Structure 1
Amino acid sequence: MSQRRGVVDSVGTRATEVAKEDLSKARVLVNDAARSGSYMYGIVYFFSHRSLWKPFWNKLAPMLTLSAGVLAGMFAFTYLPQLAIMVFVDGPVAVLSTVLLVLNESSTIVSSVSRSWVLQDALLDTFDGTLVAKNATNLVKNGRELKSGSDPMAKLGKILKSPFERFSPKALIRYLMYLPFNFIPIVGTAVFVGLQGRTRGKSVHDRYFQLKSWSRSQREDWLQEHVGAYTAFGTVATLLEMIPFAGIFFSFTNTVGAALWAADIEAKNTAMLETTAPGLREVAEQAEKE
């Protein structure tokens, strides 16, 4: 009897330790996401560096046409059928939740099509050009040829490596799996956007990882270690790019923000916890002590 009680007590103690450990990790994760300023980098820098505007202006007209066509088609053919379903689960807020759902669906279609065909090279040029502007030329040389000159965009030469992949069936399946969350009033839509943000965050530094010649395991370890910051970046990027038409602009500012973030990591040659979330290391250490 006493032996059995000792086993129970041991299991209980271990469960308590695991719970405390998970709570500490959760606290660090929340602080990471909240304190990270990575998603705030891009807009101001983009506005203040006119040389980075060229890819944006070159793709503005086709992107506006694509966005208008997708939005018109989605609201014409999918809004009412989805509203009829949402009324039963969301009640009086069904109109708002359905609008958000259609906007999200439209932004996903526009993003998938544009990143695979329309914006692929433009976003790559914007990312590399931002790195050049931040004096990370040695890094960029790993992925493309560079010319002489002072204009960072004019210095970009032939692309040697391209990290962008076309919209994959796996991404589509994941999106469809998350879609039912929208049937939960308000909270479900927030969860849906958050899940998309987490997925989006994992891809924002694909180019940086490629220029660093990191293996898949190195990338996964880095992303897992800094999941909060990447989730925060991806979620805000998703929300900004959901805005009709303005989302085109934010696609470029988000790319600039991701490149500035990478340049900061590279320049300081230190952990992201020190570059994007000041004081977070102390929070983590304190959590471990507790």
Structure 2
Amino acid sequence: MSEKVKEVAKEDFEKARVLARDAVRSGTYLYPLKGIAYFFTHRSLWKPLADKLVPTLSLGLGVTILMFVFTYVPQAAVLTIFNGPLSILTTVLLVLSESSTIFSVISKNFLIDDALIDTFDGTLLSRDLNSLVSTERQVKSGSDPIGKLGKLARKPFERFTPKAIIRYFMYLPLNFIPVVGTVLFIALQGRRFGPTAHARYFQLKQMSKRERDDFTDKRKAAYTSFGVPAVLLELVPVAGIFFAFTNTVGAALWAADMEKNQTTAPNLRNQAELAKKAE
């Protein structure tokens, strides 16, 4: 029996090692950082955030303060049993994660969903992907990416489902494991976050659910690699709202690069075939 356990543990460790290696090789962990830089250097993308800044900041600050006031002490008491002195850090991360989740549910469903869509689409327009955006909304003439955005055909972002909430609380006990548990918890959150960040891209590509699942499954490591730093950025109190927008920009930049690669690869193949014929 012990040999069987060792065998299973070895297989799981190998899978995790391969996933981590592929995640690093993908380089997608850089896109949240690219999103920050791109957002700062393209003032036209600031408008959706500016329009929602005051009410969203107020919500984020209120949720974070209330969570620390009412949940920090009892959770720290429990985590002290398992984590000892490290419980101070792990409890802070846990409360921030809980606050971020609550804030995300409320804000993305009721406050900033349209603004995030505009930010994603505006970023694509700034990368000259008008034809992609026009599949799901009107695109006007002009030089301002946000100003070119017309009426939406439909909203892509799915509301926070009961299944997602259940899965979140299922993973919470991982925080009882010192350091490693918290890292695993954030990694699992990042794995879920990655595909969600491309919900708009999947809609613009008019993918079916099966196509989306196949697409994300083939890029599981890349989406986890993108999701982990994105989740960590959105855990920052109050400033998490700013990073929600820069993460959206980063996700759009990644989508734009994939689109460019998809159109470039066939051209290269065609050129290679023509060269062979010429020979």
Is 2:159 aligned against 1:166?
yes
Q: 1:37 to 1:102 in 2, by over 3 A?
A: same
Task: Give 1:209's aligned residue.
Answer: 202
Is 2:23 aligned against 1:30?
no
Q: 1:256 to 1:223 in 2, by over 3 A?
A: same
Matches of 1:245 and 1:149 in 2, distance apart? 34
Aligned equivalent of 2:84, options 87, 91, 97: 91
Task: Give 2:131's aligned residue.
Answer: 138
Deviations 1:22-67 (A, max 9, x none): 95x7665333311333323211111110000001111111111001
Divergent runs of 4+, >4 A: 25-28
Matches of 2:146 and 2:137 in 1, distance apart? 12
* Structure 2, unaligned runs of 5 or more: 1-6, 266-279
Q: Contact 1:83–1:94 at 8 Å: present in 2 too?
A: yes
Total equivalences in the alignment: 253
Aligned equivalent of 2:213, options 220, 228, 249: 220
Q: Contact 1:197–1:237 at 8 Å: present in 2 too?
A: yes
Matches of 1:82 and 1:29 in 2, distance apart? 31
Matches of 1:142 and 1:242 in 2, distance apart? 33
TM-score relative to the length of structure 1: 0.83
Q: Percent identity?
A: 57
Q: 1:67 to 1:271 in 2, by over 3 A?
A: farther
CA drift at 1:206 = 1.0
Task: Give 1:74's aligned residue.
Answer: 67
Alignment-mate amino acid for residue 121 of structure 2:
D
Matches of 2:18 and 2:165 in 1, distance apart? 31
Summarize the alignment of residues 145-156 of structure 1 with structure 2, pairs less than 5 Å apart.
145-156=138-149
Is 2:178 aligned against 1:182?
no
Q: Contact 1:194–1:235 at 8 Å: present in 2 too?
A: yes
Aligned equivalent of 2:188, options 189, 192, 195: 195
Q: Contact 1:265–1:271 at 8 Å: present in 2 too?
A: no
Q: Contact 1:41–1:261 at 8 Å: present in 2 too?
A: no
Task: Give 2:104's aligned residue.
Answer: 111
Is 2:91 aligned against 1:101?
no
Matches of 1:48 and 1:76 in 2, distance apart? 37
Say what the alpha-carbon RMSD is for the aligned residues: 2.0
Q: 1:107 to 1:145 in 2, by over 3 A?
A: same
Q: 1:183 to 1:28 in 2, by over 3 A?
A: closer
SS of 1:153 mapped into structure 2: coil
Task: Give 1:257's aligned residue.
Answer: 250
SS of 1:84 mapped into structure 2: helix
Task: Give 1:128's aligned residue.
Answer: 121
CA drift at 1:270 = 6.3
SS of 2:91 mapped into structure 1: helix
Q: Contact 1:113–1:167 at 8 Å: present in 2 too?
A: no
- Determine which structure has more spread, i.e. the larger CA radius of gyration: 1
CA drift at 1:271 = 10
Q: 1:247 to 1:213 in 2, by over 3 A?
A: same
CA drift at 1:123 = 0.2
Task: Give 1:3's aligned residue.
Answer: none
Q: Contact 1:103–1:243 at 8 Å: present in 2 too?
A: yes
CA drift at 1:108 = 0.8
Task: Give 2:42's aligned residue.
Answer: 49
SS of 2:151 mapped into structure 1: strand
